[in-house]
Amino acid sequence: MATETFDKSFFITDPKAIKKIIDIIESEPVNNNQTEEIFIQEDINQSEKILDKCLSHLKL
């Protein structure tokens, strides 16, 4: 599969758009660590359930 890259210049002339872009660039990034920790814990719980199920089939 071929991949094509290109460069295109564009200009923003609307003052509202310019202000919005500057606000986004200057703003602090949102801290999403709490959300990631929740997903990680859910993954751990699901993995433990799957492991328990697999181990329950073993005859020791």
Chain position carrying tokens 């758009």: 17
pTM to 2 decimal places: 0.37
Q: What is the pLDDT of residue 18?
A: 92
DSSP-based three-state secondary structure for 42 = helix
Cβ partners under 8 Å of residue 12, min gap 6? 18, 21
pLDDT single digits (tens) 3-58: 677 788 888 899 999 999 999 889 877 766 666 667 788 888 999 999 998 888 87
